[in-house]
Amino acid sequence: MSWINGINEDGNLEVNAAHFDGLPNIEENTLMRIIVDEKERMVIFRKRLFRKEEKDQDILLSFDQILGAGFITRSKLVKKSKVIKDKLWGLK
């Protein structure tokens, strides 16, 4: 699929990103397409690169399943994860 200015040929918002955590069966640093399909009311996560022997399986999330969304850099994610781990383990 081609896209211009974040809009793909189907008229949906589409961005490229690297996955760090949270999607089942997707490894860290996997390149993903994130597609917002307003007509079907879902967000589609699709691997950008995959081996021929892998099936390209999309992960679909209905708008109703999403409680919040945002953009976070890896450095902020690592910092936030450390703070959470320190609180859980009683570290300073």
pLDDT grade for 89, boundaries at 50, 70 and 90: very low
Write down the pTM of the prediction: 0.66
Which is it for the CA torsion 31, 83, 76, 14, positive or negative? positive
Cβ count near 72 (within 10 Å): 10
Residue 51 has pLDDT above 70, yes or no: no
Tokens of 6: 């974040």
- Helix (H/G/I), strand (E/B), else coil: 62: strand
pLDDT at 79: 63
Q: Select, from the ranges 13-17, 80-84, 87-91, the one with the highest average predicted confidence (pLDDT).
A: 13-17
Residue 86 has pLDDT above 90, yes or no: no
> What does DSSP assign to residue 13?
E
> What does DSSP assign to residue 42?
E
pLDDT at 57: 80
User: Alpha helices of the chain — where are they, by DSSP H?
Assistant: 74-89
